[in-house]
């Protein structure tokens, strides 16, 4: 046999063949039904908001990479996830220039300054939303009724003010189920909640489709199932206990699960791999912290909704959870701790 050039590499010489970009792309797939439903429920308005945040995130990531002299990381799909997620958390009649700013902030402050994908401390989409909530408190709590008759033909004027101009609202609905409950004590039917026949942010209204997306990712082994289970389970149990104590003052546990952004947050935001702990035990702790905080903020806090702050707070402590809770290494008696 004649001599030929041999490749040399170190073992293992085979890999499973699922790349980070594959995982991110599949998360996008899992969110598509939610996006489709928000278009169906809120029409062109919601679609424009989501498109704006997505384009804004992707362009920001590309520009920042080029600006810092790095290869563009747009192809890893993570900016697309951030964009879609941010859009899904905004009201369907959110002014587009504000949405654009949200996208820029999500990528620039939420991800890029930490070092890009893999280094962000917080879920970038939630960083974007937190800034928007602080900057535009009225716009971000102004809702539109779902299933309005002209939703596929008419774009609300509220979306289109000139940049830095406050919007004028034409069709505004009173309240989301959460604010209706918080401020007026009105509960919404659980079935309406689960199938999204309500008003709310673009992507958080249809719990059933969000769960479907979550099941898809869990089945493909691309999501840690413990996080949504821990978040939803702890929120359900805590609100259930409170509901048993006083069913007039506290919302029912099913209401807690399906109203507001809890489902979207538990399935698509708390599960951000980078900002959540690594170890199974740590993940349980992290999820329970989020679930409990959501219920506490909703019931005793000043805001009707607490998912965003609950997740951001848990993101902040997740590195510490990883240092404190470690699995027992094979062949050792106790978890080794840093002294």
Whose Cβ is closer to other proteins: residue 14's or residue 245's?
14
**Is 123 a residue that touches other proteins (CB under 8 A)?**
no
For 107, counting Cβ atoms within 10 Å of its Cβ (0-12 exposed, 13-18 middle, 19+ buried), the class is buried
Distance of CA 243 to the CA centre of its chain: 27
Gap between the Cα atoms of 277 and 254, Å rounded: 27
Pull the structure tokens for residue 70: 């790095």
**Residue 334 Cβ vs other proteins, minimum distance, rounded to whole Å:** 11
Binding string to other proteins for residues 262 to 281, with x set by CB under 8 A, is what? -----------xx-x-xxx-
**Is 247 a residue that touches other proteins (CB under 8 A)?**
no
Gap between the Cα atoms of 115 and 121, Å rounded: 10
249 in helix, strand or coil? Answer: coil
**Is 11 a residue that touches other proteins (CB under 8 A)?**
yes
> From the list 60, 144, 224, 256, which residue makes contact with other proteins (rule: CB under 8 A)?
224
**Is 330 a residue that touches other proteins (CB under 8 A)?**
yes
Q: How many CB atoms lie within 10 A of CB 37?
A: 20
Gap between the Cα atoms of 311 and 220, Å rounded: 24
Stretch that binds other proteins, among 17-25, 29-37, 102-110, 181-189 (CB under 8 A): 17-25
**Which residues, at least 6 apart from 38, have a Cβ–Cβ distance to it below 8 Å?**
46, 47, 50, 88, 92, 202, 203, 205, 206
Whose Cβ is closer to other proteins: residue 66's or residue 328's?
328
107 in helix, strand or coil? Answer: helix
> From the list 14, 134, 138, 149, which residue makes contact with other proteins (rule: CB under 8 A)?
14
**Is 1 a residue that touches other proteins (CB under 8 A)?**
yes
Buried b (16+ CB within 10 A) or exposed e, 40-51: bbbbbbbbbbbb
> From the list 19, 152, 247, 316, which residue makes contact with other proteins (rule: CB under 8 A)?
19
31 in helix, strand or coil? Answer: helix
Binding string to other proteins for residues 79 to 118, with x set by CB under 8 A, is what? ------------------------------------xxxx
The strand pairing partners of 143, in sequence order, are: 173
Is residue 308 within 8 A of residue 265, CB to CB? The reply is yes
> From the list 29, 36, 66, 119, which residue makes contact with other proteins (rule: CB under 8 A)?
119
Q: What is the CA radius of gyration of the chain?
A: 21
**Is 229 a residue that touches other proteins (CB under 8 A)?**
no
Q: Which of residues 41-80 bind other proteins (CB under 8 A)?
A: 76
**Residue 82 Cβ vs other proteins, minimum distance, rounded to whole Å:** 13
**Residue 76 Cβ vs other proteins, minimum distance, rounded to whole Å:** 6
> Contact positions toward other proteins, by CB under 8 A?
1, 3-16, 18-23, 76, 115-119, 224, 273-274, 276, 278-280, 283, 322, 326-332, 336, 338
């Amino acid at each position: 046999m004649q001599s030929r050039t041999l490749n040399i590499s170190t073992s293992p010489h085979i890999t499973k063949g699922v790349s980070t970009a594959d995982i991110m792309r599949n998360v996008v797939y899992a969110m598509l039904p939610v996006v489709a439903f928000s278009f169906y429920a809120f029409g062109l308005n919601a679609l424009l908001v989501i498109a704006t945040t997505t384009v804004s995130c992707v362009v920001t990531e590309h520009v920042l990479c080029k600006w810092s002299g790095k290869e563009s990381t747009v192809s890893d799909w993570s900016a697309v996830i951030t964009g879609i997620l941010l859009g899904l958390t905004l009201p369907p009649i959110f002014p587009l220039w504000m949405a654009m700013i949200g996208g820029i902030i999500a990528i620039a402050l939420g991800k890029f300054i930490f070092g890009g994908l893999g280094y962000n401390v917080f879920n970038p989409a939630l960083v974007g939303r937190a800034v928007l909530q602080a900057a535009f408190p009225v716009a971000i709590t102004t809702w539109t009724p779902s299933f309005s008759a002209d939703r596929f033909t008419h774009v609300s004027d509220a979306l289109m003010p000139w940049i830095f101009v406050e919007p004028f609202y034409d069709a505004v609905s009173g309240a989301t189920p959460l604010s209706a409950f918080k401020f007026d004590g009105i509960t919404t039917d659980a079935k309406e909640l689960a199938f999204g026949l309500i008003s709310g942010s673009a992507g958080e209204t249809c719990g059933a489709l969000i769960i479907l997306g979550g099941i898809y990712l869990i089945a493909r082994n691309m999501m840690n199932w413990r996080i949504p289970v821990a978040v939803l389970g702890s929120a359900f149990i805590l609100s259930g206990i409170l509901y048993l104590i006083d069913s007039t003052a506290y919302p029912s546990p099913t209401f807690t699960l399906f109203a507001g952004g809890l489902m979207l947050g538990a399935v698509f935001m708390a599960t951000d791999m980078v900002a959540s702990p690594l170890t199974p035990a740590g993940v349980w702790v992290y999820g329970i912290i989020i679930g409990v905080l959501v219920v506490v903020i909703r019931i005793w806090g000043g805001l009707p909704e607490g998912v965003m702050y609950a997740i951001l707070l848990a993101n902040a402590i997740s590195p510490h959870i990883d240092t404190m809770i470690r699995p027992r290494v094979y062949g050792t008696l106790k978890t080794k701790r840093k002294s």
